[in-house]
Structure 1
Amino acid sequence: MAIGLTEEHEALAASVRGFAERHVTSESVREAVGSAERGEAPAHPGFWQALAAQGLLGLHLPEEHGGQGYGLLEQAVALEELGRTIAPGAYVPTVLASALIQAGGSDKLKADVLPALADGSRTAAVALPTAGALVDTEGRVSGTVQPVLGAQLADLFVLPLTDGRWAVVEHAEVEHLEALDLTRPLGAVTVRDAEADRILTGVNARELAVVLLGAEACGVAGRALDEAVAYAKLREQFGRPIGQFQGVKHKCGRMLIALERARAAVWDAVRALTEDDEQRGYAVGVAAALAADAAVECAEGNVQVHGGIGYTFEHDAHLLYRRALTLRALLGKASAARAEVAALAVAGVRRPMDIEIPAEALSLRSDVRARVAELAAMEITEQRAAMAAGGWVTPHLPEPWGKAAGPVEQIVIQQELKAAKVRPVPLMIAAWAVPSLVQYGTPEQQERFLPPTLRGEIIWCQLFSEPGAGSDLAGLTTRAERVEGGWSITGQKIWTSLARDAQWGICIARTDPDRPKHDGITYFLVDMSSPGIEIRPLCECTGDAVFNEVFLDGVFVPDDRVVGPVNEGWRVARNTLANERVGLTSSFQLGGDVPKLVALATELGVADDPLVRDGIGRLACDEHAFALLGLRATLKQISGTDPGATANVRKLVAMEHGQQVTEFGFTLLGDEGALTGGWRSDLRRRWTRYLLASRAMTIGGGTTEVNLNVIGERILGLPRDPDPTR
């Protein structure tokens, strides 16, 4: 998933990438590097006029000022693509300067300057606030600021003043500075007694820089990841591609996670630029904390995967690394951004994950709202029956069990039910069983089980995992043998939630031991009161017993309780595990969360400690990033485009986040961490219980390590190890 979400953004990205492949070649990049090495004066790259003719310099500017009439989000989409190429030249500083002038310049200044910046006949440079400031003395400005990106290529400078305003200056002295990034020059800009007649007011250069340079950082990170993955598929060591090694898979998986978080944060920062100070500050702060660091992490990972060749000057890996480090330096310390986010989080600020429904769905909302109002007026038993009969519990499923609702209708239904405080039946494990019965169940099975399940009258458990077959269900040993009228199931299941409460269980068992791996498995519906079932609670490290062991000793299951074809139960089970619906439900948390952490730090009197603030800021950024991943996946589904890697990445990020929040809170307790209490005890004692419970978060539903392998193999396309036992 790139920064843009819509089909239009995908088309724009494809167009810019095509342009870059034709014009921003490796030779043009190396030409800029050679010029820098020889100490020659920087020059515009050969593709500059073609870039301007493409309209990319003015994507974000209004047509009246020579632009394309789009906005900063479209410019961010283009910057991400050009960032992949390590494009030399003044593109980024010129775009940033024109954005500042558009935001804070007078009408005359805009008319005088912006058309030339949009058509490439003039170029500009911007000094970020960290570079110093000019002094305004009675309408005359003077001073030196450094480093200024692209200064030697500019004939127009946008420079900060000590009072927070910005001056647009045409005449200045530029001193060359040795730049870490060999493809773009840096300079010191000195202004001597210039007239302060072109002043920008009410602009925040840092916010615009975070958005635009952050978008470029995402492009750098994306290029680094792609290069690392491509090399890992081809480079062989010890007789096989290095991409088969789990360590390489995990390295590349972590790079993808960093990239997706950064893209989400930059996208949200663009959206927030027109919002109030708190919301804008929160979103921009998260982007500032994540984007450049993601570029550095991916660039470092690229060098690491390439090994010695990636460390050589001849390979482009070090150029990506230099660009990433430069972007991080120019955007300022991530710790400062985390401190800003922490201050807002401690003050109770949160970014809402709202979805704007297309205008054409207004009549749909009106209809849904009217029906939901009727549901809200019913007593609970009548309401649950009506919701089950009307498809409101699982609207994504086909009628009559759902409403065959598309993504937009699903969101509208969720929103209206929430607004009316109508709670659908909590299906729990049944949320996995119902789709399989809908798709593979017989009409008799559907009528027997679906209506009461959707009314909340049947509790289900899932009999999948075994002591020797957790994530790898191909290793199932529970067997089902054919007997008169049905099957006899014998085996052991483990980690079974709700087993002591459930009336029915969905169970997979091996029915043909001669077939390999996932073949020869059948999907059964098991009456949990059947003779031969023994349930033993499993006491967890918290002292609670949520999970259970289930022993099946010759448990009879009639033929009419087999779901789907015999020996093809894995296909049915995969439907259970991969059931898709559109939603913004937050990830299940067994530990603490950021609001609880803030409450704990406040209660302990350490919320103002700088180190604690840094931790809160880091975790608040993480929380916001995985919430954004869910929002973006939903918006992609609504727009009809593929959400890509987001679901896998979000699950892993969310689960690790819950652990990290809880572990950080535990460190604040000091010696009180040696004490514990129940879920209803005070927050301090309860926190140790959170910590113990949180260990399950990166195990259940596939461990972190397995999920990283899934990301590496299924999303990034890295090769599987044909002999995983070695």
Structure 2
Amino acid sequence: MVVALTDEQVQLTDTMAGFARRHGGLELTRSQFDAIAAGHRPDFWPALVNQGLHAVHLPEEFGGQGGTLADAACVIDAAGYGLLPGPLLPTVIAGAVVATADTDRPGTRALLAGIADGRTAALLLPGDGEIRAGAGAQGWELSGSAGPQLGLSSAQQLVVGAKTAAGETLWFALDASAPGVTVQAQSPTDLTRDVGTLECDRAPAEPLPGIDERTARGIAVGLIAAEAAGIARWCVDNVVAYLKVREQFGRPIGTFQALQHKAAMLFINSELAAASAWDAVRGAGQSAVQHHIAAAGAAVTAIGGLPELVVDALTMFGAIGYTWEHDLHLYWKRAISLAAAIGPVTDWARALGDPDLPGRDFTIELTAVEPDFRAGVAAALDAAAALRNERPGRQNPEYAEYWTGPQRTALADAGLVVPYLPAPWGLDASPAQQLIIDEEYDKRPHLVRPSLGIAQWILPTVLTAGSDAQRERFAVPTMRGEIGWCQLFSEPGAGSDLAALSTRATKVDGGWVIQGQKVWTSSAQRADWGALLARTDPEAKKHKGIGYFLVDMSTPGIRVRPLRTASGDEHFNEVFFDDVFVPDEMLVGEPTAGWSHALATMANERVAIGAYVKLDKESELRALARRAGAADVTVRRALGEVRAATNAIGALAVRDTLGRLAGHGPGPASSVGKVGTALLVRRVTADALVFSGRAAMVGGGEQPAVGQSLMMPAEVIGGGTIEIQLNIIATMILGLPRN
């Protein structure tokens, strides 16, 4: 995934990618290592400036293209993918920071105009060294040292954060050729970009008032993260291409499941890196706190994890990826350099792990969109709010969102229980309309939003593939919470390999007789109806001869036996079918079409389970961090890493939503989110146990970390194991050959 979101940004990314292919080229870059290290600008720099690609984000009045920081991130993303050498990234960062200064000042205006005209630049944050600002005879002077810093040797203009004697941070423009300025080129780790150190001895400097240190740092991190996203994407594309053609043991190594899973994880980490980079750039338009949270998340997810991501790619190339002739080591070295440029990633994680920080704001503003639709939704919700529900719901009686009565009936009849369903059961709501409905519900926290629970996975299948009689019988009562459902798919011998199920449906007069056993069935002990998969044609291929039935759970011959899990709870069940008669009218679609219906149901399930990340998964870690206090950096670091992962998944979901609002189809976000959420749940529960210490010896519900850990497998395995999801990503998204 590119950082670009809009069609215009995708075009900008393609333009920069084309430029990198034409003017960069790794063969040419390899011939210029020494010149690059010495700070010489590459020969293509005038052509780059001519196209304005270095200044897409600078105001037009100063010679820029008048774009946004997100546009600049698209340019940097593509440049990172193409490993474009030279000072583009440092120059874009410096220009973006200067653009936040007081542009009424002549010095600021001149600096922006110079960068737009092609002068190279670099940013030095106060933490990048010890530069002191003092008053001289002719104005401000800078003294001290800083670096090493990317692009410093090639920079003609420096943007420097310096401390006064009173400890105040001030910002200055410093000409690299000014008296008292010495820049020393260093031997760079990244062979495609120069690194230098700065010495100042009463060097004259021009003030740049209006720059905020935290904002400057966030801008730098966001743009560095964009380049990291481009590198991660290059790794995915090239690994997948290699796995498709490299053969061992007479077949492509891309058929090996171990490599498929590694490639899928590489893709997942790349997608999350791009999402967090996009979020960091997006955060620049929000409050200072939100920008800090987004930048810290990108520092941890996109930048700090990049060197290991490249090493993962290297291991899939094997020894060839470790050679000097292979391009991978150049990307690896740039990854190491980018991670070093932001400082220790542990510091970013600890900062993000402050338990008093608010959550990431992923609000999508739609205040001016479809006002008439919004008014209708608001009126329906207000009318429902005046009513009350009277009794526990059939699906999950212990939770308020499942209760039934006049309020839920009103919401169901208004299409506001599952609004994306087609009318008359829903509103056939577009993505924008769904967001409007979400906003209106959020404005009324006293109004409990109903949930279908398991029925949310089953009902869309019934509405799409079922008969008119089935829709008439089940849709409205299910929406009103008057019917509880269970999903009768898994079997003792057919868990992840669902198509290997052995439960039989034998045709008899007027219906079918079911024989078999199901397992891991949630809510079977109280369900009124179940969606059942059974083999209708034992001679057909295993995916072909399956039927999808709607079964009355009170039918004679059905026996439900609760399964007690390690947590001590009875959330799951075994269900036995002994000569259970199901009438013909309860078969959904054709007798052998059940597999396609099952896929639709499981797709709904996986999306629902992937959305669990919207819930608060870090509560116990947050409580532990508060109890430990700021001095316990290990808990805060763990909490920060969890938040970074949570925010990356959230950003991925927001991007997917915005894409749908723009008319694009769904992408791989649900698959990536499912795996990311499962890994997140495992990480959270493991950390909570570690930091609970000896208290974890006490059970009986007195230690939340223990209870969460014992419930963890239900969330991680539910809807398909991580390995099954990795198989799907490897073959259906990455296109690796099946075994």
| TM-score computed with the length of structure 2 as normaliser | 0.92
| Distance verdict in 2 for CA 1:616–1:504, change over 3 Å | same
Structure 1 residue 358: Cα displacement: 6.5
Structure 2 counterpart of 1:111, from 109, 112, 119: 109
8 Å CA contact retained: 1:594, 1:623: no
2:174 equivalent to 1:156: no
Question: CA–CA distance in 2 between the matches of 1:588 and 1:328?
Answer: 27
Three-state SS of the structure 2 residue aligned to 1:152 is coil
> C-alpha separation between the residues in 2 aligned to 1:201 and 1:588?
38
* Offset at residue 125 of structure 1 (A): 2.2
In 2, the alpha carbon distance for the partners of 1:46 and 1:16 equals 16
Q: Is 1:350 aligned to 2:359, yes or no?
A: yes
The residue aligned with 2:392 is: none
Q: Which residue of structure 2 aligns with residue 724 of structure 1?
A: none
Query: Is the 2:170–2:207 contact (alpha carbons within 8 Å) kept by the matching residues of 1?
Result: no
One-letter amino acid of the structure 1 residue matched with residue 652 of structure 2? L
| Partners of 2:609 and 2:718 within 8 A in 1 | no
CA contact (8 A) 1:536 1:550 kept: yes
Determine the C-alpha separation between the residues in 2 that align with 1:579 and 1:658. Answer: 20
Contact 2:134 2:142 in 1 (8 A): yes
Counterpart-to-counterpart distance in 2, 1:47 and 1:696? 56
Question: Could you say if the C-alpha distance between residues 34 and 514 of structure 1 is closer, same or farther in structure 2, counting changes exceeding 3 Å?
Answer: farther
* Secondary structure at 2:153 match in 1: helix
1:504 to 1:692, Cα distance in 2 relative to 1, 3 A: same
Q: Report how far residue 582 of structure 1 moved.
A: 9.6
Quote the Cα distance in structure 2 between the aligned partners of 1:360 and 1:336.
41
Shift of 1:371: 2.3
- Asked if residue 133 in structure 1 is aligned to residue 130 in structure 2, the reply is yes
Give 1:584 shift: 12
The SS at the match of 1:404 is coil
Aligned to 2:301: 290
Equivalent residue letter for 1:634: T
Amino acid at match of 1:392: L
Of the candidates 387, 406, 411, which is equivalent to residue 382 of structure 1? 406
**1:533-562 deviation digits (Å, cap 9, x = unpaired):** 111111101111110000111110111111
Task: Work out the CA distance in 2 between the residues paired with 1:188 and 1:366.
Answer: 60
Q: 1:315 to 1:637 in 2, by over 3 A?
A: same
Residue by residue, what CA displacement relative to the aligned partner does 1:33-61 show, whole Å, maximum 9, x if unpaired?
A: 3646xx7x443223222211222111111
Give the match for residue 246 of structure 1. Answer: 257
| 1:517 alignment partner, one of 539, 542, 561 | 542
- Show the counterpart of 2:174: 169
Aligned to 2:277: 266
Question: What amino acid is aligned across from residue 355 of structure 1 in structure 2?
Answer: I
- Match in the other structure for 1:101: 98
SS in 1 for 2:163: coil
- State the secondary structure of the residue aligned to 2:671: helix
Of the structure 1 ranges 558-567 and 291-300, higher mean CA displacement relative to structure 2 is found in: 291-300
Q: Counterpart of 2:478?
A: 453
- Does the alignment pair 1:703 with 2:698? no
Taking structure 1 as reference, are residues 624 and 588 closer, same or farther at Cα in structure 2, changes over 3 Å only?
closer
Deviation of 1:201 after TM superposition, in Å, equals 4.5
Q: 1:649 is matched with which residue?
A: 672
Counterpart position of 1:302? 313
* Displacement of 1:32: 2.7
Secondary structure, counterpart of 1:563 in structure 2: coil
TM-aligned CA distance change 1:424 to 1:610, over 3 Å? closer
Q: Contact 2:254–2:737 (CA<8 Å) still a contact in 1? A: yes
Partner letter of residue 17 of structure 1? A
Asked if the contact 2:613–2:649 (Cα under 8 Å) also holds between the matched residues in 1, the reply is: no
Give how far 1:259 is off. 1.9
Give the letter aligned to residue 111 of structure 1.
R
Secondary structure at 2:381's aligned position in 1?
helix
Deviation track 1:496-542 (CA, whole Å, cap 9, x = no partner) reads: 01101011111011111111121010111111111111111111011
Describe how 1:22-33 pairs up with structure 2 within 5 A.
22-33=22-33
**Match among 177, 191, 196 for residue 187 of structure 1:** 196
- Aligned match of 2:325: 314
The Cα shift of 1:495 comes to: 0.4
Structure 1 residues not aligned, in runs of 5+? 722-726
Deviates more, 1:252-261 or 1:124-133: 124-133
The alpha-carbon distance between structure 1 residues 569 and 583, as it changes in their structure 2 partners (threshold 3 A), is closer
Amino acid at match of 1:651: K
Deviations, residues 159-217 of structure 1 (Å, cap 9, x unaligned): 33134223211123222211101111112222332223334453323222101111111
CA contact (8 A) 1:293 1:328 kept: yes
For residues 311-353 of structure 1, what are the alpha-carbon distances to aligned partners after superposition, in whole Å with 9 as ceiling and x for unaligned? 111111000000000000111111000111112xx11521222
5 Å-filtered alignment, 1:300-449, equals: 300-343=311-354, 346-357=355-366, 359-380=368-389, 381-420=405-444, 421-449=446-474
Going from structure 1 to structure 2, the CA distance change for 1:566 and 1:484 (only over 3 Å counts) comes to: same
- Which stretch has the larger CA shift, 566-575 or 322-331? 566-575
3-state secondary structure, aligned to 1:133: strand
Paired position in structure 2 for 1:13: 13
Whole-angstrom distance in 1 between the partners of 2:71 and 2:308: 25
Equivalent residues of 1:261, 1:626 under 8 A apart: yes
Q: Partner letter of residue 76 of structure 1? A: A
TM-score of the aligned structures, taking structure 1 as reference length: 0.93
Deviation at 1:601, TM superposition (A): 4.0
Give the deviation of 1:650 after TM superposition: 0.9
- Pick which of 79-88 and 21-30 moved more: 21-30
Q: Distance in 2 between matches of 1:399 and 1:634?
A: 22
Which position in structure 2 is the counterpart of 1:88?
Answer: 85
- Please give the secondary structure, in 2, of the residue aligned with 1:495: coil
Shift of 1:586: 4.4
Determine if contact 2:381/2:411 at 8 Å carries over to the other structure.
Answer: no
- Cα distance in 2 for partners of 1:630, 1:521 equals 34
Q: Say if 2:57 is the partner of 1:52.
A: no
Offset at residue 128 of structure 1 (A): 4.0
The verdict on how the C-alpha distance between 1:589 and 1:531 changes in structure 2, with shifts beyond 3 A counting, is farther
Partner of 2:395: none
CA contact (8 A) 2:457 2:605 kept: no
527-536 or 665-674, larger mean C-alpha shift: 665-674
Closer/same/farther in 2, CA of residues 147 and 686 from structure 1, 3 Å limit: closer
Instruction: Tell me the amino acid that sits aligned with residue 4 of structure 1.
Output: A
Counterparts of 1:358 and 1:243, CA distance in 2: 48
Deviations 1:418-456 (A, max 9, x none): 323433432111111211111111111111111111111
Whichever residue aligns with residue 429 of structure 1, its letter is I
**Partners of 2:124 and 2:159 within 8 A in 1:** yes
Partner of 1:677: 700
Could you tell me how far 1:304 is from its partner in structure 2?
Answer: 1.1
Of 589, 600, 610 in structure 2, the residue corresponding to residue 575 of structure 1 is 600
SS of aligned partner of 2:585? helix
Partner of 1:477: 502
Identity, in percent, stands at 41
CA deviation after TM superposition for structure 1 residue 585, in Å: 8.9
Cα deviation, 1:266-288, whole Å, max 9, x if unaligned, reads 22222222433322222221112
In structure 2, what is the equivalent of residue 280 of structure 1? 291
Is 692-701 or 547-556 further displaced after alignment? 692-701
Matching residue of 2:396? none
Distance 2:599 2:510 in 1: 27
Q: What is the aligned counterpart of 1:225 among 227, 233, 236?
A: 236
Q: For residues 126 and 417 of structure 1, do their structure 2 counterparts lie closer, same or farther at Cα, with a shift above 3 Å needed?
A: closer
Counterpart CA distance in 2 for 1:335 and 1:471 is 38
Paired with 1:202 and 1:655, the residues of 2 have a C-alpha distance of: 41
> How far apart, in 1, do the equivalents of 2:28 and 2:157 lie?
24
CA-to-aligned-CA distance 1:40-84 (integer Å, 9 cap, x gap): x44322322221122211111111111111111111111111110
RMSD between superposed Cα atoms in Å = 2.2
Moved over 4 A (4+): 580-586
Q: How many residues align?
A: 708
Q: 1:705 to 1:650 in 2, by over 3 A?
A: same
Which shows bigger deviation, 52-61 or 555-564? 52-61
Aligned mate of 2:212, from 185, 188, 203: 203
